Structure 1
């Protein structure tokens, strides 16, 4: 049976397309998030954003707003640039699987923040007495990565959890995080410093994206 709605999502009109053939309207949520992230970074450029960081100590002090604020905070220019590039590259492609706009905007933002909250919960679970603040959108972005891992590049729908292709993508995610830990966290620890990559947040967000994909994509892709 022919499905006109699926054609609308996978074969957008030429006049609406931008790079990779994705309609401009599907780029809007990612652009909004990037604007908020960069506005927050520039506003705190001279003072830093560790005050927005999430940790067990911050929550013990009653700074519950940091549960959300940490997703908009970054530790430096390299950190925000890297996260921005990943967010920009994934937001629109994931959006195309969430159905016709504007309803998909709500679905996208709910999914994004749930992924970020899952990342925060995983971080706190592994660091119940922690005082080093976690900042960054990596947990939420890892949710996008997890959902993208379930998507067929052909637009055929979700890859089954038992698929070898999915497990290869999971392994790619693990290798990328191991590389980040090796490049960033290990040198800091070897020199007596504190901090590094919050891999726990990456894991929490990724699991929500991968396991919860079918509840957020449009029914035609389930």
Structure 2
């Protein structure tokens, strides 16, 4: 049974859609928290073997630039394009991303359909945005010649912003809601070194912009396949 859009959804009101947590959102959040917990705990030798965290970074972190050319990848060179979403730089990084997943995930999951097919579509969308973000990040590193590592689910979650915009206002809504996040990341790109000196880490702004681009393109395609009736309504907005 496909999801039938409510008047609240099409009008942009936050009920009851944004107060619902579909199972797939809960499961994905739990898996990311579990994986990151193992990664963070294994950085403490008296809790877990540090080899675990090193292996997880080798297998999952986005690595771009000449320094990482030919770097060892235990699960292959494609795996990091998706697996980087299960690694985070700390508790704060993890909490911020999981809050975004819980905030933006439900409307996307419900729109793609409640059930196994909908859950598959949701994971496909999440992975697609992660891949788009990773490719943008790697491409920027290769273009500038600056070697960088990037981890975190924000690459994929950036694609959820335009997805919500699609549901609320079609393509114009997707672009409108995405512009502030894109501008923020362009500012980060300009003042990146200054911010890094303050917070101690570099933000993967290129991955965020790549995720937005992926969300704008992928969401309507998946909606057209998995919820045709809703797509017909959305494209009229």
TM > 0.5 fold call: yes
SS at match of 2:41: coil
Residue 174 in structure 1 maps to residue 201 in structure 2: no
Residue 203 in structure 1 maps to residue 209 in structure 2: yes
1:147 match = 163
Question: Alpha-carbon deviation of 1:170?
Answer: 2.7
Residue 45 in structure 1 maps to residue 40 in structure 2: yes
What CA deviation, in whole Å up to 9, does each residue of 1:64-123 have, x standing for no partner? 233332110000111101000001111111112113422111111111101101111110
For 1:139 and 1:120, locate their aligned partners in 2 and report how far apart those are by CA, in whole Å. 7
For residues 204 and 190 of structure 1, do their structure 2 counterparts lie closer, same or farther at Cα, with a shift above 3 Å needed? same
Aligned length: 202
Residue 60 in structure 1 maps to residue 50 in structure 2: no
Question: Alpha-carbon deviation of 1:221?
Answer: 2.4
1:108 match = 122
Which of 6, 27, 46 in structure 2 is aligned with 1:10?
A: 6
Q: Which runs of 5+ in 2 are unaligned?
A: 9-13, 44-52, 232-237
Task: State whether residues 120 and 204 of structure 1, in contact with CA within 8 Å, keep that contact through their aligned partners in structure 2.
Answer: yes
Residue 30 in structure 1 maps to residue 25 in structure 2: yes
Aligned Cα RMSD in Å? 3.2
Which of 196, 211, 221 in structure 2 is aligned with 1:215?
A: 221
1:71 match = 85
Question: Alpha-carbon deviation of 1:43?
Answer: 1.1
For 2:81 and 2:176, locate their aligned partners in 1 and report how far apart those are by CA, in whole Å. 32
Normalised by the size of structure 2, how large is the TM-score? 0.72
For 2:229 and 2:120, locate their aligned partners in 1 and report how far apart those are by CA, in whole Å. 18
Question: Alpha-carbon deviation of 1:147?
Answer: 1.3
Question: Alpha-carbon deviation of 1:61?
Answer: 1.5
Normalised by the size of structure 1, how large is the TM-score? 0.76
Q: Which runs of 5+ in 1 are unaligned?
A: 13-18, 153-157
Structure that is richer in helix per residue: 2
